[in-house]
Chain A
Amino acid sequence: MKATNNHNEPWLDSFSQKLQDYEEPLPSHSWEQMEARLQGEILRPEKQKSRFHLKPWMGVAAALVVAVFSLYFFTQKQEVLTSQGKAVKSSLAALADKPSLSLPVNVTSLFCEDETCYYLDHNMVDRARIYAVNEGGIALFTAKRDGFELAGQEGLDSALQASLLQSLNNHRQLFLQSVASIFRKSREIN
């Protein structure tokens, strides 16, 4: 019989044997969470092996095309960044007038779209709480199993509330993944 690290200390052998096949019950909805994350994985395009053999002139042509497109996308990206920066700035300015429903301290901006920024509340660990802020006002949403629900708002008319809710639910998958990832990172930092 092979000597183990514990052969001189029988209590360690017993300890090891008792935990050998130990299983821990999973939290509820573990598979549903896993499935949501897998959906995100399969949405990513798979890498495929190239069936073509590159000729030198093809490399030069490809480099030229890449250079032209990079320049184009760089300028496009700058525009997106500028508009996002504007959206963050205007959404934060809007908060100054809304003391009764202000953002908590631990928030992270998830993303900005159409002059509205979506912030995630770090303090909520069991349930995602997301603030949507734009120049019109601020709305608070909580994540439910089948979508997001409006939990409070200030300064938004019903049409704008509905449109924010619609937008949030359209991006539900993205939000849930971001929420999981941000919670994880914030726990690592803490």
Chain B
Amino acid sequence: MRRCAQGDHQAFRVLYEHFAPKMYAYLLRFVNDRDMAHDLMQDGFIKAYTSIAQFVPRGEGSLQSWLMVLMRNEALQYLRRNDALRESMDIDSTPLADEIPDSEEVEQIPSEVLMQLLGELPDGYRTVFSLYVLEDKSHREIAEMLGIKERSSASQLVRAKVLLTAKIKNWLKENKE
């Protein structure tokens, strides 16, 4: 960390190679365009590089959490600039799944498939779902982050779950032995 703060590229390379695959996956939760996610990740790492001197370690995992906040800011700024957070589907046009999947079913699906199914959701749904389900944020926090109403966050989450349920059921059906 000290060598990174002094502008040592090799030290920063170690940090980059350790955290970048995780940050790339993290950005793909928000931006379903691999090139763009990669660009945004590098923007985030440049911010980390230029401000690492101000980072104060607060125990294990604090560097990763700090990087994730930087990456999330990059992703949300990008989505807001592109007006991608508006609700993009009427609730009536959302296909309904017969039943929700059980946790054993979800556990047998490979992680990369779950990422792919998540990536197929509209930007707004995926972002709300990621923040609520994967990061345990409240609708109030999500509304503040995305500049939307709490009600909109809640309704996008419902639709995201319905769509994802249908996609999971579909995948399980197609991949049944």
Contact = CB atoms under 8 A, between A and B. Distances in A.
A31 B13 contact: yes
A184 B39 contact: yes
Contact of A4 (B16, B109, B136): B136
B105 interface: yes
B114 A27 contact: no
Contacts, number: 99
A23 B27 CA distance: 11
Kindly state the interface size class of chain A when it binds its partner. 35 or more
Interface string B35-74: 1101100100110011000000000000000000000000
A41 B106 contact: no
Interface string A16-52: 1011111111110011011101100110000000000
Q: Which of A15, A21, A31 has the most CB of B within 10 A?
A: A15
A31 B25 contact: no
Grouping DSSP codes into helix (H, G, I), strand (E, B) and loop, the B interface class, with mixed when no group exceeds half, is helix
Interface in B116-145: 118, 132-134, 136-138
B36 A23 contact: no
Nearest to A13: B103
A95 B25 CA distance: 45
A18 B114 contact: yes
A12 B35 contact: no
Nearest to B47: A41
Contact of B7 (A5, A24, A42, A125): A42
Contacts of B107: 14, 18
Interface residues of B, number: 49
A19 B133 CA distance: 11
B91 interface: no
A187 interface: yes
Contact of B133 (A5, A180, A184): A5
B95 interface: no
A17 to B, nearest CB: 8
A146 interface: no
Contacts of A14: 103-104, 106-107
A11 interface: yes
A88 to B, nearest CB: 28
Given A5-B132, A30-B20, A187-B36, 9 more contacts: A11-B101, A11-B105, A14-B107, A22-B115, A24-B25, A37-B42, A38-B9, A38-B12, A42-B7
25 contacts: A5-B133, A6-B136, A10-B102, A11-B103, A11-B168, A12-B133, A14-B103, A14-B107, A15-B106, A18-B106, A18-B107, A19-B29, A19-B115, A24-B21, A24-B28, A26-B20, A30-B20, A31-B17, A37-B42, A38-B9, A38-B46, A41-B49, A41-B50, A187-B35, A188-B82
